[in-house]
Amino acid sequence: MEIRVLRYFLAVVDHGSVTAAARAVRVAQPSLSRQLHNLQQKLGVELFRRGPGALRLSVAGERFLPLARDLVARADQASSVLRHLARGDDIPLTIAAPATTIADVLGPYLAGRYLRSGLNDIIERDTRTVYDVVQRGDADIGISTFPPPGSMETRVIGRAPVCALTAPEHPLAGRTHVFLADLVRESLILMQRNNAARLAFDTATAGQGLAYVDPRVVSVTSVARALAASGQGVAVLTDQSLFNLVRVPIRIPEGILAVTLYAGWEPDHFAAPAVSALVDSISDYHRNVLTPTAEITITDPLHTPDRQ
């Protein structure tokens, strides 16, 4: 099965007809039709339904489509890797991560010139979907506050303290930490319940039998920080400060409240050593630069034992 023929198949799917696909890939229509016919004969199935109008995939075609896309993507990936190796470059890798992780971890990591392995791009995805991007082959590594699926290689990047973010004039701003029992009495600005800091905060609160009343709930962390800066309450986030806010770690009986940052990638990744080296580099940065507080126990109430 030739990659070139799979590209023809995908072109027909994406453009809706053999004629349009032939124009897109710059191949004569009779030749493209013949190649598709040969492909179907080799596979022993019809990939398209016969009928008027645009070509539609058969049931077999629907099942074959993601496989074809994956094979073509892997072929393109291999070609790219070989080109970089021929030039003596590092293997280019792509990370998928949520906006907060990009802003607070990966951006400063790159800006600080800590990169020791190839990194081509970082794409922003929702916390719960970063690993889907990796499984589709659109990224090499997913980084999230949720653990990867069990089928993936997994490593803990580090733990990010959950903090009370306050305006400088707020009474909490002068403290080295704030106890959870004191914090729940404040006017709180919280994220939606799918936010990792909110989940950790709610879990710790319930675990101590505490309750908070009528918080202001927002969807974007920068809005939460802006509201806190304007004196409208205390934001509970893992995010770095904006607007001259003061970050005050939240203390629970076990230590400082935190969320865990995981990395996940496919165990059979073609550049597994390079992936592992990049994850190690980010983890070293997180431990030695972002959270160099070894004397403080950082505890994630949602964390399960590390799967190395």
pLDDT digits (tens, 9 = 90+) for 236-290: 998 877 889 999 999 998 889 999 999 999 998 878 888 998 999 999 988 888 7
Where does CATH 1.10.10.10 sit in the chain? 3-87
Topology of domain 93-157+261-295 in CATH is D-Maltodextrin-Binding Protein; domain 2 (3.40.190)
For 3-87, CATH gives 1.10.10.10
More confident residue, 137 or 115: 137
The CA-based angle 58-62-65, given to 5 degrees, is: 125
Whether 107 shows a pLDDT value over 60: the answer reads yes
| pLDDT average, residue stretch 151-174 | 92
Task: Measure the CA–CA gap between 117 and 146, rounded to whole angstroms.
Answer: 24
How do residues 117-137 score in pLDDT, each as one tens digit? Answer: 678 789 999 888 999 999 888
CB 231 within 8 A of CB 108: no
Cα angle vertex 233, ends 184, 218, to 5°? 95
What is the Cα–Cα distance from 12 to 18, expressed in whole angstroms?
5
Dig out the tokens for 86 from the structure: 């021929």
The one-character DSSP state at 295 is T
Whether the per-residue pLDDT at 41 is higher than 60: the answer is yes
- How far apart are alpha carbons 201 and 162 in whole angstroms? 8
Supply the pLDDT for residue 306: 42
Please tell me the predicted confidence (pLDDT) of residue 81.
63
Mean pLDDT, the chain, integer: 86
Query: Which of these, 225, 168, 161, lies nearest to 191 by C-alpha position?
Result: 225
Phi (first) and psi of residue 65, to 5 degrees: -55, -55
pTM above 0.95, yes or no: no
Give the model's confidence band at 304: pLDDT under 50 very low, under 70 low, under 90 confident, else very high: very low
Q: Where in the chain is the domain with CATH 3.40.190.10?
A: 93-157+261-295, 161-258
For 161-258, CATH number?
Answer: 3.40.190.10
Q: Is the dihedral of CA 95, 96, 99, 100 positive or negative?
A: negative
Least confidently predicted of 189-193, 276-280, 303-307: 303-307
Decide: 143 and 97 in contact? Cβ < 8 Å.
yes
- The beta strand positions in the chain, using DSSP E, are 48-49, 56-57, 94-97, 121-124, 141-144, 153-161, 163-166, 178-179, 188-191, 216-218, 234-237, 246-252, 255-265, 298-299
Q: Based on the number of CB atoms within 10 Å of its own CB, is 217 exposed (0-12), middle (13-18) or buried (19 or more)?
A: middle
